[in-house]
Structure 1
Amino acid sequence: MSEDAKTRWLAVAALVAAGMIAAGHIFKLSPAMPMVRADFGLDLVAGGWLFSTTNILAALTGVAAGVTADRFGYRRVLFFGLTIMAVASALATLATAPPLLFLCRLLEGAGFLSVVVSAPSLMVSETIPRDRPLALSWWTVYSPGGGSLTILLAPMVMRAVGWQGLWLTLSGIAVAVLTLLASMGLKGRPHHGTRGAPFHRTLIAAVRHPGPWCAAGAFALYALQYVAVMAWLPSFLVAERGLSIALAAALTAVVMASNISGNLLTGVLLRAGHRHGSLITVSSVLMALSALVIFSDLPDLARYVACAALSATGGVLPAAVLASAPEIAPHPAYIGAVNGLIVQGTNMGLLAGPPALAAVVAWSGQWNDGLWLFLIAAAGAAVLGLALNKVTGAAATPSL
């Protein structure tokens, strides 16, 4: 999009909506976990893997999916993702045993991957350079926004029609968003196509620079912490504190929604000249401080506030990472591939987080022993933020 063109903010909003419904498909299991575990006889660790199954494909093939989107068109890949999520969510309601349920979660993972590698790339095409950091910071609202709305509203739906009704509702919303986007005339291909180059050569060219790896690694370590809290907070509140599913879901939704404040703040900080890597490092340090309170013997109110603080301060990191993609991509033709690498790293963290925390708790018998997992992850992300500043070689900018 040329500088004299205008940003299509309606298209940006519709793309955020696509991301939100994709996140809804991922996080719908969180409030439904007690019900689903009871229906299928799943233990704590199996429940963690069921939550994370949606992330397996993205964790293994994110960058390849990004290259595919670069080659075949972002709009086509986006529409495929919304379609497969709608179909898989509906199919899961027919499950009578765990294998079909796990298969449908895997298919939803394919749909989620398709949406999150293509939508931010489409945003680059639909925005002018001046507005791009702000639009990409808005994009990061998709996960906490879609997740928190789903977690908040899910108990009402499940009371009326069970978890199967929730799955069908989200399937229908995905179809509605797909219909809206199909009517908007989104650009289907990047300006600098890569269709003529061999796939493996494009793949190597897109990921040979260290910047995308630093960004993807930082996002992975952030995601490990964030999703571990979001996946298990409802179960902890129900099983350990005796709260109702509805109240536990509402409290979890507030924590998840807190992430949005960090997402939106990042756009302001980037416009003020702060560096992507610096924001990543500061965000990681604040997450570590929050974890010290979460996994402590302080009163439950203090620990709950710390969960919200971890979510809010952590929200800066994904926005900073995704906003960096157009700058750290070695060529405009590889923005989709860089987004794919970031998504791949993210989903490695999403895949590992819930079962890792569950394994620690199952081994020790104490939720508080999860602290070390969070401190190690936060320290790694902070170091990668510093490394991103170094490899990008940007000029010094105001410190936080």
Structure 2
Amino acid sequence: MNAPAMRPVAAGVAFGALVSVLAAYHQFKLPPVLPVLIELYGHDARLAGGFMSVYALAGLLLSPLLGRFIERDGVPRYLFAGFALLAAGCAIGLVLPGSGMAMLLARGLEGAGFAALAIVGPVLVARHAGPAHAALATGLVATWIPSGQLLANAIARFAVAADGWRLLWWVGLAATAAMALWTARRAAAGVDAGLAVAGRGAATAATGGSRPLLWLSAAVFCLWSMQYFAYMTWLPTFLVTVHGLAPDSAVAGYTVPVAVLIVFNLVTGWLLKRGVPVAPLLAGALAGQAAVWAALPVTGGGWPGLLSLIAYGIGAGIAPTCLFGLPRAIEGGGRAGAFATLMTGRNLGVLAGPLLLAWLLDATGGWTAAGPVFAVTTATALLVSLWLAVRLARRRQPAMD
């Protein structure tokens, strides 16, 4: 493909990737400043955990419907609705940060906007990239959460140092407005209009054989997301309360696994393109993350703590790249409904993980139970992923005979 022909493809992939990164930024602008918000406004730990989990509740309620509607109606209207909800949530958070219920409502509105963008972004990347670049596109899609996290962390370093957590919210509003303008330009040009037609044609791909595999994939994503979002939501607070780090130093520590996992997102995409099987990569990542959780009660600060953060980041980079590649491995396409099924599992994990860890902290008065509980959660994800691998192998076997 020549350079002029590649430009629309690259622009479409970049647009889809940035839609996803914006969604992740809004979700993860909270954890780096959560210790500050708790100190300033006295929010209860369980309520503060709800500020993160409410995103998932919105996704659980909306993702299945959004998948069908996006396939039917196309992309632009749901992007505009998502941007409006994100902007409304940001505005409420800026005005009423001291009200726990208002903050919960604000994060819920943001979560509804996130639900739309989290489906549309990966679909745009997959459709514009096409089969020739499917594996690398999968690696790119998997970077959307950590890229949003890194962006939020970078801004949080300045915001926390200046005692100005609101900067994160203002940046979110500005970025949302910029993406809305870009979307309007693409909509006026009719660039993404054909995606609705493609989605309707692909809707028949969800055969009786693929649906159980998609739901098994969603179950793995659910269990993985439980432990990942528990870890990432509460890691800055853990570093402050257990290891005595200052808030800005905790943000730096929080950045380590995020930076590592972006590298391994892309490395895993490259390995998948080279034909490395998904199953052993996913199993190794889950086993490594389970080991990090199991060792948490005896992992101190210093070099052991740093190595723990790096090891966790490696697994957290490999696993989602494999998981986001499963719809294409199962169905051979980038259908919105398939991504919606996957996101339903993810959202359930996002809902449960931070709340479960908050409950454990409240019930035990410390972090001693967190490691064993989430080690078991991650090990269960490993077992389900192995079952999924067996099912996929059996499904391919008749075609090879």
Instruction: Please say whether Structure 1 and Structure 2 have the same fold, judged by a TM-score greater than 0.5.
Output: yes
Map residues 163-242 of structure 1 onto 2, 5 A cutoff. 163-184=165-186, 185=189, 186-188=191-193, 189-194=195-200, 209-242=211-244
Partners of 1:342 and 1:132 lie apart in 2 by 17
User: Could you say which structure has the higher helix fraction?
Assistant: 2
After superposition, the CA RMSD in angstroms is 2.8
CA apart distance, 1:142: 0.9
* Counterparts in 2 of 1:138 and 1:203: CA distance versus 1, 3 Å: closer
Partners of 1:226 and 1:269 lie apart in 2 by 23
Partners of 2:376 and 2:297 lie apart in 1 by 14
* Residue 259 (structure 1) aligns with: 261
* Residue 142 (structure 1) aligns with: 144
Selected match of 1:133 from 132, 135, 141:
135
CA contact (8 A) 2:72 2:197 kept: no
* Residue 365 (structure 2) aligns with: 365
1:155 and 2:160 correspond: no
1:375 and 2:375 correspond: yes
CA apart distance, 1:264: 0.9
- Aligned AA (1:388): L
Partners of 1:203 and 1:374 lie apart in 2 by 35
Partners of 1:362 and 1:203 lie apart in 2 by 46
Moved more, 183-192 or 346-355: 183-192
Moved more, 157-166 or 188-197: 188-197
Give the gaps of 5 or more residues in structure 1.
none
* Residue 86 (structure 1) aligns with: 87
Moved over 4 A (4+): 158-161, 202-208, 297-300
* Counterparts in 2 of 1:311 and 1:196: CA distance versus 1, 3 Å: closer
Does the residue aligned with 2:349 lie in a helix, a strand or coil? helix
CA contact (8 A) 1:221 1:380 kept: yes
CA contact (8 A) 1:286 1:314 kept: no
Give the gaps of 5 or more residues in structure 2.
none
* Counterparts in 2 of 1:283 and 1:244: CA distance versus 1, 3 Å: same
* Residue 296 (structure 2) aligns with: 294
In percent, how many aligned pairs have the same letter?
A: 27
CA contact (8 A) 2:85 2:109 kept: yes
Output one character per residue of 1:170-228: Cα deviation in whole Å (capped at 9) or x when no partner: 1111111232343345423244443999xxxx899689721111211111111111111
Moved more, 118-127 or 149-158: 149-158
CA contact (8 A) 1:286 1:313 kept: yes
* Residue 77 (structure 1) aligns with: 78
1:322 and 2:308 correspond: no
Partners of 2:294 and 2:88 lie apart in 1 by 42
CA contact (8 A) 2:214 2:342 kept: yes
Moved more, 102-111 or 184-193: 184-193
CA contact (8 A) 1:278 1:389 kept: no
Partners of 1:60 and 1:196 lie apart in 2 by 23
Partners of 1:193 and 1:149 lie apart in 2 by 32
* Counterparts in 2 of 1:103 and 1:204: CA distance versus 1, 3 Å: farther
CA contact (8 A) 2:17 2:125 kept: no
CA apart distance, 1:23: 0.9
* Counterparts in 2 of 1:91 and 1:118: CA distance versus 1, 3 Å: same
Does the residue aligned with 2:276 lie in a helix, a strand or coil? coil
* Counterparts in 2 of 1:162 and 1:203: CA distance versus 1, 3 Å: farther
CA apart distance, 1:145: 1.1
Does the residue aligned with 2:170 lie in a helix, a strand or coil? helix
Does the residue aligned with 1:209 lie in a helix, a strand or coil? helix
* Counterparts in 2 of 1:151 and 1:196: CA distance versus 1, 3 Å: closer
Map residues 377-396 of structure 1 onto 2, 5 A cutoff. 377-393=377-393
CA contact (8 A) 1:217 1:384 kept: yes
Partners of 2:139 and 2:76 lie apart in 1 by 20
Partners of 1:328 and 1:77 lie apart in 2 by 26
CA contact (8 A) 2:55 2:111 kept: yes
CA apart distance, 1:112: 0.8
Output one character per residue of 1:269-312: Cα deviation in whole Å (capped at 9) or x when no partner: 21122233332222111111222333325444313321221122
